[in-house]
Every structure is written in structure tokens, then in C-alpha cells.
Amino acid sequence: MSPSRVEAPLSYEYPKETQEQLEYAELEALDISKLDQPGGKQELAEQVLRFINKNGFFYVTGHGFSDESVRRQYALCEAFFQLPLEEKLKYSCDTAKGDFRGYKPQSTGKLAGRDNDERYNIPKFTPEHERPHPQLIKDHWDEIRDFSLKIHNDVLLPLLRLFAYVLEIDEEYLTSRHRYDAEGLEYLRYMKYYPRAAEQDAQVGNIWAKGHTDYNTLTFLFHQPIAGLQVQTPEGRWQYVRSPRDAIIVNIADALEFLSGGYLKSTVHRVIRPPEDQTDRPRLSLIYFARPEAKILLKPVESPLLRQLGLQVETELFARDVTAEEWARARIAKDHRFRTGLVDQREKEIIAGVNQKYYD
């Protein structure tokens, strides 16, 4: 069998949950199946209004994904990372130019502390993103495509309509800026964090991914029982994010904060060394990053709710006509410079004089 012809296992079994007593964030769960029920949209909107200023992390249930379909994607994720490194490197992404499509290897040597994960990003299934993929991915193309499309159509779009309803604007305003067939980069990510010796982790403060916000619209994280994901509370404390098996973890990201005038806040989160009863296991992640169309300006929508709250103002970023693609590419490129050692400190300015906050 050739290196590129790795057969994916038929199924994937999750690692055991930690038995340690951790401090977990109390997150709300939005059951989006209620959107099709009488009064369901109003009920969910009231729920959003109650929690959204406290935490931009929440759960989505009633999403329609079977446990088997999620584990199947994890099986493919695991099989991909078992490919030889020289095979994976054929599909490397060009992060120096702000492009996350394809493979990003784990850093080694003195840079290992900055970058302890491998990633493979599979973009939207549109002509714009046609590119080579490993045979493993091509062999399972249809099921990966169907999984990605279901996230976009059955989870992202309903949530965007719900947020538009909360903002008291046209319910298709946000969805019309996230058309699947339009130019822009959404992607499904297979990700793997590697276990490290306690001494190695201690040198970097036990942090696997520094505190940050995402630069897209919404991030969807599927069930992963290896504890390590933490969210920063409004008071500045770090709390673990529990990962229920029947729920998708969702976090609000930069683009949605910009489009909502700061009302829907991009959530600060990080990944740290797992509890001691899980430190010997790699941490696989299955993540979907939804992003506005490439040419959408990151300006706040005209909203009665925002006017009422005094948020209908332009910030430095909005005034510079920055597009979703420009913001994302700039953030990816800046991350590349730090991750690969071109600079020793994270750069504050991202684009057009607009700064990014860093945590930790």
C-alpha cells in the first residue's frame, strides 16, 4: 500500500473523560431545533439576550449530527495525521501569505513551545478552492463535503438568522454575507495537539495555545473529551469548557463582533496542558470556521438595538474599510511570523493601524 493510501478506520472511539475536578464555565445551550417550532425563535432570542454579554461561548444542541457521523470525521482526522510527514508536506498551506488552506506541520526545536499542533484545513467545496489533496481525503470526498455543507446550512445559517432577529434587523442580512458559493474562505479543520513531557510544558507555562480570539464569524468545535480548552470570563478568570457529547461548542469571533458593533463579542480562549490523567493522549480536534464573504466590509449593521444601547458608532477598524479577507489574511500572516521565529514577540498591529489584543 502506498503512503498516501491509508485506509481510514471504520470508527473512532473517544478517549476517557478526565476524573479530575475542574472549574468549568457555565455555558448556555441553544436548542436550534426549536427554531422550527411555534414561539421557538422568540424563546431562543430571549435566551441569547440573557447571556450574550456575559459569554461568547455557548453550546448548540438539536443540530442534527449523529454521534456516528462526528466520530467518522474523527476517524478520518486520525488517519490523516498518521500519513508520513513527507506526504503531508506536499499539501502545505502558505501561511506567510495569509492562506490557511492545506497542511500546517507541528513546529520543532526551539520553536516547539510556540506551536504544538498539526492542522489540515479543507476549504469550501467550490471551484475557487480546487486544489490537490491526499488520496485519503479524495477517497472520502463526498462525506467530508456533506459534513461541511451540513454545518454551513443547518447550523451556521440558522444561528445567523437568530442573531439578526436579536439585532432587530432583516433576518437574511447576515446570511446574505455568508453565501456558500460566493468567494471567501470557510474551512473544516482536522487538528492534533501532541502530548509533551511535564518539563517541556512547564517551560511555556503549560500553555498549548495562547489566549486569543478567532478572526472569522463563528467557530464550531465538535465533542472532544480531552480537557484543555479554556475561556476567559469577563472578570479575567480562565475556566474550562466542558464538551458534552451531544453538543457543538460555538464561539463568536472577530468578524461577528465587528458586524454587530461590538455587541456580540469575540471570545478569548486558550488551550492548556490536559489534566494528569489525560496527559499521555494526543488531543484531536474537529473544527469548522465560518467566515464572511471575502469582500464584505467589517462595518456594523444599522440596528435599532445597537442604537438603543449606544453601540451604533464607528471604530478605528470600521473607518478604514477593511474587508473580511484582508483582516483574516493579515492575522494569519502575523501569526506565521511569530510561529516560525521571524519575530520574537507577537505583533500588535494587524492591519491599517488596527491592533490586536493578546492574552497570557
Give Cα separations from 244 to 61, 70, 122, 276, 294 (angstroms): 10, 13, 25, 20, 33
Cβ neighbours around 174 below 10 Å, total: 24
* Beta strand pairing call for 218-221 and 248-252: antiparallel
Q: What CA–CA distance (Å, rounded) separates 122 from 113?
A: 26
Residue 22 lies in a domain: no
229 grid coordinates: 480548552
Q: Considering the domain boundaries, does residue 213 fall inside one?
A: yes
pLDDT category, 1, cuts 50, 70, 90? Answer: very low
Measured distance CA(209)–CA(247) in Å, rounded: 23
Q: In DSSP terms, which residues pair with 290 in a beta bridge?
A: 218
For CA atoms 360, 258, 308, 314, the dihedral sign is positive
11 domain-assigned: no
- Name the grid cell of 115: 506551536
Residue 212, in any domain of the structure? yes
Q: Is residue 132 part of a domain?
A: yes
The pLDDT of residue 353 is above 70: no
Q: Considering only CA atoms, which of 111, 112, 184, 188 is closest in space to residue 148?
A: 188
Q: Which residue has the higher pLDDT, 235 or 347?
A: 235
**CATH number, domain with residue 261:** 2.60.120.330
Confidence of residue 234 (pLDDT cuts 50, 70, 90): confident
Q: How many domains does one find in the chain? A: 1
Q: H or E segment at 117?
A: strand 117-123
Structural domain includes residue 4:
no
Residue 1 lies in a domain: no
pLDDT tier, 2 (very low <50, low <70, confident <90, very high otherwise): very low
pLDDT over 90 for what percent of the chain?
64
Question: Are the beta carbons of 173 and 217 closer than 8 angstroms?
Answer: no
- Note the pTM of the prediction, 2 decimals: 0.93
- Tens of pLDDT, residue by residue over 37-49, are 999 999 999 999 9
Backbone angles phi, psi at 359, to 5 degrees: -130, 160
User: In one letter, which amino acid is 146?
Assistant: D
Rounded Cα distance between 234 and 40, Å, is 29
- Domain span including residue 149: 29-355
Which 3 state secondary structure label does DSSP give 282? coil
Q: Rounded to the nearest 5°, which phi and psi values hold at 188?
A: -90, 135
Q: Tell whether 2 is covered by a domain.
A: no
